């Protein structure tokens, strides 16, 4: 983590202001700045997870499209029929 700091002044909505104050009063954080820093770290981590999931989905889509281009796809109606049969007869093995 960089030791340099930027400065941003902001006004929070009342509910978030109240939450920040509650967090500092509880002793979990020494200052409002610490609460906001932690919140931004959590947001950054969540964005990283979201981006990874998006990349994974895009890769799976590309993999599926490549499979279709090689003629390895399934007929939609046949796949649906097999799925419906497997739901109607749970002991039937679904082979997609």
DSSP 40-81: HHHHHHHHHHHHHHHHHHHHHHHHHHHHHHTT----HHHHHH
The Cα 35–Cα 30 span in angstroms is: 8
**Global pTM exceeds 0.75:** no
Over residues 9-58, the pLDDT tens digits come to 999 999 999 999 999 999 999 999 999 999 999 999 999 999 999 999 99
Query: Using CA atoms in the order 53, 58, 63, 64, what is the torsion angle rounded to 10 degrees?
Result: 100
Q: Which pair of tokens denotes residue 63?
A: 């993999």
SS3 of 78-89: the string is HHHHHHHHHHHC
């Amino acid at each position: 983590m960089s030791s340099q700091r930027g400065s941003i002044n902001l006004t929070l909505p009342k509910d978030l202001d109240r939450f920040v104050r509650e967090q500092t009063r509880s002793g979990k954080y020494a200052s409002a700045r610490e609460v906001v820093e932690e919140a931004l770290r959590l947001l950054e981590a969540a964005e990283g997870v979201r981006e990874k999931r998006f990349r994974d989905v895009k890769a799976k889509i590309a993999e599926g499209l490549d499979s279709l281009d090689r003629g390895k796809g399934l007929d939609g109606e046949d796949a649906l029929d097999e799925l419906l049969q497997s739901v109607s007869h749970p002991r039937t093995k679904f082979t997609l």
